[in-house]
Structure 1
């Protein structure tokens, strides 16, 4: 089983490591820094995006390992349009309910928890130790960072980013493209496109 990963970064290393643990025999990278970049840790970088698009049907699976939500979306859709078989990578130490849904191209890292009836969209990142509780919904290409917690029924909009160790109260909605800062405690809905920080979380630059 051959897996191609687009994005030879530190994030990509974690994706590759998880992929090997769940049975992908051959894992290789593609990155636009090629040919200057030929290795990503122990894994080979074989070419750039154009090379992968040209040869994507020669791989059993492909996944985009780029942290920037918008760029990840663009690249994943290019691969899908070229006939790539988008797969999800779920670390064997993650706990994902059989009643949860994880969309194509998403990655779920070690010690993450996705509980019953949660929905994770396409191209999402559920990072190390993150918790996505029951009935949560993550929009496409959203990112929940390490040790962040989404309590039950939270909705995260497309391309939103929840920072490391942040907590989002149950039934809160975080709008499309919004950013929740590291360690923030979110007790109210977050409008689309804004950044909130602090405890309780407030729009960046605003007074409590």
Structure 2
């Protein structure tokens, strides 16, 4: 039996805890040992969650420990996952049983996939991708490492989301579009042409915005 440790005990961490308890491996392949978070009081006022064990930086990995990274931010997901990897930690996938993995879909390691996601035929999902609830991925979609796809988002066929891309809630990417590395698509936006690296686009149609 593995001991699952959730990196991050804030709001998204609490959601990932429930995901862990709903997956087929719960109490069969793993139990939830607790959270890692540098905010030791992150769960104050909340009940029915396991304890915060320590910060990521201070945690000493033990035999049978496995990890998932519950960070809603791509930047911090990558940062803390790499800290655990540098210590020799191993990550597992949490894929909700209602998710549909269609013919020839390929998935990596360290994935979080929430309820009623549809990963269509011949999709490729690389390591440390987060796919939230009710996401629809069209055939031959490729999602590269560290990307985050928020609830109700949709990609058409042959879409490519490069490394560290974020699709916010209800974003839609039309077929054959490439969203380049580090780009962010705003909530409820419609992407009709390729998105440049490290840019933020928003609107219908989605256009580059500056902050």
Tell me the alpha carbon deviations over residues 30-71 of structure 1, each in whole angstroms, 9 at most, x when there is no partner: 11112x34566422212111343x124441x21110111011
Q: Is 1:163 matched up with 2:164?
A: no
* Distance (whole Å) between structure 2 residues aligned to residue 79 and residue 191 of structure 1: 31
List alignment gaps of at least 5 residues for structure 2. none
The structure whose residues are more often helix, as a share, is: 1
1:141-160 matches, within 5 Å, as 141-160=146-165
- Structure 2 length-normalised TM: 0.89
Q: Does residue 36 of structure 2 align to residue 33 of structure 1?
A: no
Give the Cα–Cα distance (whole angstroms) in 2 for the partners of residues 142 and 182 of structure 1. 15
d(CA) in 1 for partners of 2:108 and 2:47?
27
Structure 1 runs of 4+ with >4 Å offset: 38-41
- Secondary structure, counterpart of 2:67 in structure 1: strand
Which residue in 2 is equivalent to 1:173? 178
Change beyond 3 A, Cα 1:103–1:56: farther
**TM-score (norm: length of structure 1):** 0.91
Tell me the C-alpha RMSD between the 2 structures. Answer: 1.6
105, 117, 121: which is aligned to 1:116? 121
In the alignment of these two chains, the number of paired residues is 202
Alignment partner, residue 107 of structure 1: 112
Ranges in structure 1 where 5+ consecutive residues have no aligned partner = none
Distance 1:41 1:58 in 2: 26
